[in-house]
Amino acid sequence: MQNLASYGDPGWVDYLIMENTKFDACPECDLLLNQALPEIGEKALCPRCGYLLYRPRKQSIERTFALSVAGLIVIFPANLLPLIGIKLLGNSHDGTLWSGVIGLFNEGMWAVAILVFLSSILFPLTNIILSLLISAHLYFDKPNRYLGSWMRWLQHLDEWAMLEVYTLGIIVACVKLASTADLKLGFGLYAFVTLLLITAMLASSLDPYLFWQRIAYLRRHEA
């Protein structure tokens, strides 16, 4: 990162990383804490505000790697195949994730269309790609100058990928439609539910604390 170069002394970065690792600060109340690393299955909470500081995960890097590969495969059928279809008076019609976005766009609701596109298609995809890139680099011990930026993007985009909310939307829409038309569930829906499970497992297997430690470690040993 070019900004680090501007500090001049290259040993500076190493020095800082070594120095402050025995302390930690709670992100939600700023309490200064002695660093405690719980065992797998345990968790560390902030004693003052109760924030969940760490919950180490079993085989975090390996599982994140495997799950992001699986997610990348499943995301295509989930996006492209019909989720649900209806039949009414001999007419039938299927809907996919994309056709909802395009439908909203054609009705002039471009802002809503963009929001739906981002939160149900683009951000889930970028999250999976970023998880794959980061975990693959960490798994193979390959340093990369963008690892830190990828991890930051992943953390910021995480809450904007809303597959689970979309699933609830599908359920409500199905209930609304069931009384007036014949519903059929498409293959895309099964792919979508699989994708939902994979992203949920991905979120719980990724241990941000471990990932940052590994990124800092790779960075130190880059040169």
Partner 1 sequence: MTALAQGLIRCHDCGYLSQQARQPRRCPVCGSRLHIRIPNSVQHTTALLLSSYALYIPANIFPIMTVTQLGVTEQHTIMGGIIALIDKDMMPIAILVLVASILVPLLKLLGISLLLLKVRYRWQSNARLWTTMYRIIAFVGRWSMLDIFMISILVAVVDLGGVSQVIAGPASTAFAAVVVLTMFAAKSFDPRLIWDNQE
By CB under 8 A, residue 222 contacts partner 1: no
CB of 152 to partner 1, least distance (A): 5
Q: How far apart are CA 46 and CA 25, in angstroms?
A: 9
By CB under 8 A, residue 123 contacts partner 1: no
Binding residue for partner 1, selected from 43, 59, 62, 103, defined by CB under 8 A:
103
- DSSP E strands in 38-131: the ranges are 44-45, 52-54, 84-88, 91-95
DSSP 160: G
Residues 6 or more apart in contact with residue 19 via CB below 8 angstroms: none
CB of 40 to partner 1, least distance (A): 20
Residues 20 to 79 in contact with partner 1, rule: CB under 8 A: 20, 23-25, 27-32, 48-51
DSSP 221: T
In this structure, what token pair is assigned to residue 107? 């009705």
In this structure, what token pair is assigned to residue 7? 């500090």
Region near partner 1 per CB under 8 A, out of 61-69, 71-79, 136-144, 177-185: 177-185
Query: Look-up: residue for tokens 């519903």?
Result: 183
Q: What are phi and psi of 185, to 5 degrees?
A: -90, 130
By CB under 8 A, residue 149 contacts partner 1: yes
Binding residue for partner 1, selected from 45, 122, 136, 170, defined by CB under 8 A:
170
CB of 3 to partner 1, least distance (A): 5
CB of 85 to partner 1, least distance (A): 7
By CB under 8 A, residue 111 contacts partner 1: yes
